[in-house]
Structure 1
Amino acid sequence: MPSSNATSTPMKKLHLLRTHLINAVPGLARDPSRLLTFVEDGSLEFRRGPNLSHEYQFAAQLVLTDFGDDLDTVMVPLLQWLAEYQPDADPGEAVSFEAEILSNQSVDVALRVRLTERVIAKVDCDSGHIHVDHVVSRFERDACPISRWQLLLRDAEADDDYTLAAEWGETDER
């Protein structure tokens, strides 16, 4: 009988993405409940054979409600995350979005992100066990190994300096 405290959930990539955005986007860090996540248009790809390995393929819908920050404070961390966790994504189809303008200060933004997640399911016919592992590969950024980031924005209409808009990543506490 399965354990009642099992913590294994599908869509681990979506949980990782959500956590990354909450940590990277100041408005979401202050109020994580403003980021709603859904799975839509999901499918399962598998091959016939002796194992039950498969791949989830789905569109993750991320809805930012009453968002008042610059949209780049979401898009840049999102693109950075995709470069690490979904580098094979088709650049023309990986992310789409819609926005509803609520006022001059805020919008509701719906992001649609195509994700895949492999699952290795090994069948042991002798014991009657099926061992399942979700494979969430992370691809290192060889070109830029820094782990702490600051997003600096400049208003295109002004000649002002850049303004710190967001910070995220690991801190170096040596």
Structure 2
Amino acid sequence: MNKPAALREAIRAALVAKGHDVALNPDRMALLIQAGSVHSMLTEGLAFQYAYTVELILLDFPGHPDDVMAPLLLWIRQWQPELMANRDSLREGLTFSAEHLGDDKVDLMIQVKLTERCRITSGPEALPVEVEHLDHAEQPEPTWGLLHQVDANGVQVAHCTAHAGA
């Protein structure tokens, strides 16, 4: 499983960039893998998928939750984009709880549901078994532009002049 280490490093780097002492106190940031399972189908090629919940725990965190959530959402957009496909996916796939400690610090527990697709690339008799972790397909950027005019039955009913020259 590659995503937990990537998630930990992304959050650590973001917190260090904001001046938090995670690098000096690594015991204050823990990452647990919970409720894991492996899914595979009997098909011609052997592939499988890890499905698990990662729990990121920040103890005695002195910052604002935005310092964690913003880089976490950027990470999810790159590494688990289907969580952002609709509100229900994100609502169920990203949850958190916090305990306010009273001295402008919180214990923050964040749960993220992740999957990792893998393919076995060696033959059935080949040892060692080789496994390739498959990246998520690049998500295309939206192709629409800014909305400037709304027509109904051929009649302009709204027009935006806020974006000059567009």
User: Given that residues 98 and 107 in structure 2 are in contact (C-alpha distance below 8 angstroms), is that contact kept between their aligned partners in structure 1?
Assistant: yes
CA pair 100-124 structure 1, distance change in 2 beyond 3 A: same
Instruction: List alignment gaps of at least 5 residues for structure 1.
Output: 1-10, 144-174
Q: Deviations over 1:43-71 (max 9, x none)?
A: 11111134331000000001000001011
TM, length-normalised to structure 1? 0.68
Give the corresponding residue for 2:3: 13
More helix by share: 2
2: CA distance between counterparts of 1:43 and 1:126? 25
Share of identical aligned residues, percent?
Answer: 29
CA pair 107-73 structure 1, distance change in 2 beyond 3 A: same
Count of residue correspondences: 133
Residue 124 (structure 1) shift: 1.4
**Structure label with greater radius of gyration:** 2
Instruction: List alignment gaps of at least 5 residues for structure 2.
Output: 84-88, 143-166
SS at match of 1:124: coil
Higher RCO (Cα < 8 Å, 6 or more apart): 1
2: CA distance between counterparts of 1:141 and 1:32? 36
1:56 aligned residue (50, 56, 60): 50
1:23 aligned residue (6, 9, 13): 13
Residue 30 (structure 1) shift: 4.2
Residue 40 (structure 1) shift: 0.6
| Structure 1 position 41 matched with structure 2 position 31 | no
Give the corresponding residue for 2:73: 79
TM, length-normalised to structure 2? 0.71
